[in-house]
Structure 1
Amino acid sequence: MTTTADEPRSPLDIPDYRRFWLARFLSVFATTGMVVVLGYQLYDVARSQYGMSIGTAAFQLGLLGLAQFLPVLLLTPLAGLIADRHDRRVVAGLAVAIDMVVALVLMLATMAGHLNLPLLFALGALHGTARVFIGPAMASIAPNVVPVRLMPRAVAINSMAWQTGSVGGPAIAGLLFAQVPALPYAISAVLLGLATISVFRIRPLPPPDENKRAHPLSQIVGGLSFVWHDRFLFGCVTLDLFAVLLGGATALLPVYARDILMIGGHPVGANGLGIMRAAPGAGAVLVALLLARRPIESHVGAKMLIAVAVFGAATIGFGLSRNYALSLFMLAALGAADMVSVFIRNTLVQLHTPDAVRGRVSAISGLAISASNELGEMQSGVAAALLGATGAVVFGGVGAIVITALWAAWFPELRLVRTFADKTLHQKEAT
């Protein structure tokens, strides 16, 4: 397809997309660093102040994941509805501002030495509340400001914002925390303030007229029904839900950093935790750079399923490793595989979904992602208490591979998709 001189050749040629990308990068950089430090502090407080064993303290990390997930579970239908009925940039901007408040409170509590488990759980829950509104609103902005023909590249560049922030945020937060514990939270608060400003500088995005006229309850039911009756969307959403639910190892990284992985006979500690948490993002960034220049164009469904299986295999490798360098490599490998899966899945879902229901579909997809992450953390904590950290991680990686095989058989729609254009045509028919 040819373009005229006035048409953008890249999503980055569009000013509103650049503002969106900057806000996404800053917010991810800030919150991933903040959450990593929060998890380490919670584990350390459980061990030092409450005298918990390794297994019991690891279980507290699982409870933190549950605390972050419960608001997502309860508020997802409302968040998707609001994203479809109101200006999406306003919804996203206000939610990012709530995360800024979380960072400020954590900074003050750390400076004052008033950390305890109830406070950390409460702030984790408030972060989960903010994120449930950020997700569908932010995910729906890019398709509103980027032409359909540029969406695959936009998804890859979006993922670069996410993954670059995921690399830099945890690594820098871990290093800063080792020097001045409150400093990572102070920096997160500043970055989240800048992200809020950047979102509000995007042009107004009024919702479709039909969304203003429809009854809210019927819209919520309609969004759920749309996903439930569309086998392709349902397969995409549930694949991510169950594969990452079982295969996620990040919740147990504080255990590996404090009590398992050693350098010179000493635990890798907070510095090692930050680098480990950044390693999946590093692998993902490398893949995102490649995809932004040359997106995957053929056999996209089969490649998505293969990527999820590789994610599970790398998770097993990390769980069994006792060499710090090898562990970092396995984390980078699982991040690279996850990036391929996320790129394909997000592009297909965006092109497959009409704009009138995009906020609600994004909310449901966000619920699946949060369930896979936060409930995955809960599952990891429970499994660690029963099987040990290594057993929990290996069990999860095997589970991710099994889920991939089952979904390839149960949802042939996924493995038979050849190009993104197939789903673009489907969207046009749906609208």
Structure 2
Amino acid sequence: MPAPYKPTRDDPPGVPARRAALRLLDAVLRRGQALEGALHNATQGLDNPSDRALSHAIAAQVLRRLADLDALIDSATRQALPDDAKARFALRIALAQAILLETPPHAAISTVLPLVDGGPRKLVHGVFGTLMRQNATLPDIATLPAAVAARWEAAWGMDMVAAAGRAIADQPPLDLSLKADDVEHPAGVTLLPRHVRVPAGSGVRAAEGFAEGGWWVQDLAASLPARVLGDGAGRVLDLCAAPGGKTMQLAAAGWDVTALDISEARLSRLSDNLARTGLSAGIVVADALTWTPPEPFDAILIDAPCSATGIFRRHADVLHRASPRVIAEAREVQAALLARAADWVRPGGTIVYAVCSLEREEGEDQVAAFLADRSDFSPAPADPSVLPTGVAPTAEGFVRTLPGMLADQGGLDGFFIAAMTRNA
């Protein structure tokens, strides 16, 4: 991994943030790192929080519209630049600023030219100038990475691919889960009980009810697994619990919750949120593949590690990292977790399996394989009343959310949710 960037006195103002954006893009596109995971190292040396935020915003916008930015670049060059050429990266960064972030063109280009010192600066300047004179724009429907589009077309059809392109072209709204019906919260649209949807970019920490612990940020689709499980007074295990939105939902719904995760740091965030909301749960730092509970649970919610392609609206980097190998590796872990957790639920109890993935291998196929292997489990069809209007259980009684659902209300992340009962 390259050493953290150290700004020098030779860098004009604004350039260090663009260098950090370049490092972020390199981390995602060349090394397969998650954007958020690469952020700390890539922005070392940037003392101003606004510079770090700008680096993140630039990289995120490039990743959202990478194919369309590249199409613009290719339209203005006689010979295609290599995918990993620094000139192409510099142009991606400049165009994302000028077109998507509304940075004045002269600032967008002047702050990226130092990134190609010793390289084709005239080419970068010329291509950018040509596109600005043409009033270059990006299509309303974003072009997805070719491999992702082909995979999703085969699984879900072209309409879904187009819907995904529309979804990633816009910033999604912010969903809030409420602790109770009567808590103070920001004004917004309610699509389900204990839910409020507010516009993208809304402040969080200073908003009504946050400090008082009345709500937390959680995409509406991510709230559905706990809603499918329903209210309860028994013991429930939230497996792979961090960052904890589902744990708080379950606690607010009356369950006696044990929250287990392998990451102590991520569980620390959950502990902070439990303290803020006044909710309670037992916290266990452990590897679910080696841990054994002292007694069976009445219910288990498995929000399994996955490719995370369903959250592409907020984290476009997943589309550039979720290769078939990544999906296959995630499926192996999911199968192991399901097999292990199946013996931890009492007869008559329920397992809810969920993944924020748009890949059938991690959702429908995974559950079909589990049910074929475990005759002591049966599907427990989801109650349609706990789902938002526009989302209905599948023929098997499971829940699948796709791009295009609730589009007029701001859309949904992609999720698969299956409830299964252990036969008594």
TM-score, with normalisation over the residues of structure 1?
A: 0.24
Which protein has the larger Cα radius of gyration, Structure 1 or Structure 2? 2
TM-score, with normalisation over the residues of structure 2?
A: 0.24
